[in-house]
């Protein structure tokens, strides 16, 4: 196995799952229909949360303010920005882009990318947890405001908030409560890699569910996405991510935060979790999942470059 394949196996598997699910939707449909989508989301988030050590203190004079700026960018700025930029997309993709932007910060790659650049990964972890907890209110609220009004889509904010509470907040809370027990904490820490790998496999399973639905929809309609639709989706999604990255970077720079904190805020303020985004997007139609998958892929590729250029190690 090549070095690239070992390092980027998840991206390769993500692409293969998406294409394979869409092409072979007929034999795969009975399998994916038997999978309980929302409980799967809860299990994935529990697996992702269990290794996180939230008892780590946010040391440093600017850490709390930096965390607040990153949370504000991720929770308050992302949705409206995606709504404005998505006006150039067809409606299902525009809705999917907004839902992707409304998702909380990703659990895994934000801390990994921050650490890779020599940033303060404690801030990235805290932004992940805070945005996930806030999503029970922010995601349904913004979805109702940006999608449910003026679109041919109905958004039940109360029902969506209930699902976020049960399938997002509770698994995270349960995992952290279990970490308070020393045997559980030690076991989680020893099996950090296995828990992360299992969570990623769960994510691929969720992608497969969405890909099968997407393939079924595309096969049953004459209006397959045009190349211009794909091109606009990729460019606009990349712009949204980079703008959010820049907002958090320069926002924390204005308060005099050290470079390590700036990097953590920029990464965690702009990254979005695939698990929550996919789960919510599938409620709005199969095509709505595509922006979330594109966003997730692009954030990994773009941030790999930005972290290399802007990281603390690079600056020294």
Average pLDDT of the residues in 284-303: 85
> What pLDDT is recorded for position 21?
86
Query: 149 pLDDT band (50/70/90 cuts)?
Result: low
Give the separation between CA 5 and CA 88, rounded to whole angstroms. 35
In the prediction, which pLDDT does 150 show?
A: 46
Q: Is the pLDDT of residue 219 over 60?
A: yes
In this structure, of 83-87, 126-130, 217-221, the range with the lowest mean pLDDT score is 217-221
Tell whether the model's pLDDT for residue 55 goes beyond 70: no
Which of 36-40, 72-76, 149-153, 188-192 shows the lowest mean pLDDT across its residues? 149-153
pLDDT at position 208: 86
Indicate whether 59 pLDDT > 80: no
DSSP assignment string, the chain = --HHHHHSHHHHHHHHHHHHHHHTHHHHHHHHHTS-HHHHHHHHHHHHHTT--TTS---STTHHHHHHHHHHIIIIIHHHHHHHHGGGS-HHHHHHHHHHHHS---SSHHHHHHHHTT--HHHHHHHHHHHHHHHHHHHHHHHHHHTSSSSS----HHHHHHHHIIIIIHHHHHHHHHHTSHHHHHHHHHTHHHHHHHHHHHHHHHHHHHHHHHHHHHHT-S-PPPHHHHHHHHHHHHHHHHHHHHHHHHHHHTTT--HHHHHHHHHHHH---HHHHHHHHGGG-GGGHHHHHHHHHHHHHHHHHHHHHHSHHHH-
Helices 78-85, 121-146: inter-axial angle, 10-degree rounding: 50
* Confidence bin at 314 (pLDDT 50/70/90): low
User: pTM for the complete prediction?
Assistant: 0.77
How far is Cα 289 from Cα 214, in angstroms, rounded to an integer?
Answer: 8
- The tokens for 198 are 């299992």
Residue 229: per-residue pLDDT: 92
pLDDT of residue 285: 78
pLDDT of residue 300: 80
Name the residue with higher pLDDT: 289 or 53: 289
Least confident interval from 30-39, 109-118, 168-177: 109-118
CA end-to-end distance (rounded Å), the chain: 34
pLDDT of residue 190: 94
> Pick the residue with more confidence: 283 or 68?
68
pLDDT of 305 over the 70 cut:
yes
Is 60's pLDDT higher than 80?
A: no
Predicted pLDDT at 299: 87
State the pLDDT at residue 67: 93
* Residue 313 in this model has a pLDDT that exceeds 60: no
Q: Choose among 15, 11, 14, 48: nearest CA to 204.
A: 14
Asked whether the predicted pLDDT for residue 303 surpasses 90, the reply is no
User: Does the structure show a pLDDT above 80 at 154?
Assistant: no
Specify whether the CB–CB gap between 206 and 278 falls below 8 A: yes
Give the model's pLDDT for residue 233: 95
Percent of the chain topping pLDDT 70: 87
User: What mean pLDDT is predicted for residues 283-289?
Assistant: 82
Q: 231 pLDDT band (50/70/90 cuts)?
A: very high
- Tell me the mean pLDDT in the region 109-114: 77
- How far, in Å, CA of 87 to CA of 76, rounded? 19
Give pLDDT, residue 161: 73
In the predicted model, what is the mean pLDDT of the chain? 84
Comparing 113-122, 134-143, 180-189, 253-262, the range with the smallest average pLDDT is 113-122
């Amino acid at each position: 196995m090549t070095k690239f394949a070992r390092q980027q196996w998840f991206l390769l598997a993500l692409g293969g799952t998406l294409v394979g699910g869409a092409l072979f939707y007929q034999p795969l449909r009975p399998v994916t229909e038997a999978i309980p989508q929302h409980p799967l989301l809860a299990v994935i988030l529990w697996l992702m949360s269990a290794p996180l050590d939230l008892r780590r203190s946010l040391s440093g004079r600017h850490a709390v303010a930096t965390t607040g700026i990153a949370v504000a960018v991720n929770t308050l700025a992302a949705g409206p920005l995606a709504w404005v930029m998505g006006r150039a997309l067809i409606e299902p993709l525009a809705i999917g882009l907004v839902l992707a932007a409304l998702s909380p910060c990703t659990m895994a790659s934000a801390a990994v990318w921050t650490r890779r650049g020599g940033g303060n990964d404690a801030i990235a972890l805290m932004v992940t947890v805070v945005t996930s907890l806030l999503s029970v209110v922010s995601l349904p609220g913004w979805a109702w405001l940006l999608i449910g009004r003026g679109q041919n889509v109905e958004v039940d904010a109360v029902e969506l908030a209930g699902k976020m509470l049960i399938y997002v907040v509770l698994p995270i809370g349960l995992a952290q409560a279990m970490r308070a027990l020393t045997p559980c904490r030690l076991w989680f820490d020893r099996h950090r890699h296995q828990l992360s790998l299992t969570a990623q496999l769960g994510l691929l399973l969720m992608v497969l569910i969405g890909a099968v639905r997407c393939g079924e929809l595309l096969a049953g309609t004459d209006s397959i996405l045009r190349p211009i639709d794909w091109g606009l989706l990729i460019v606009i999604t990349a712009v949204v991510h980079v703008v959010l990255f820049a907002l958090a970077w320069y926002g924390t720079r204005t308060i005099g935060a050290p470079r390590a904190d700036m990097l953590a805020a920029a990464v965690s303020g702009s990254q979005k979790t695939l698990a929550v985004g996919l789960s919510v997007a599938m409620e709005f139609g199969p095509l709505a999942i595509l922006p979330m998958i594109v966003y997730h892929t692009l954030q990994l590729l773009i941030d790999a470059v930005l972290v290399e250029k802007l990281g603390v190690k690079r600056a020294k």
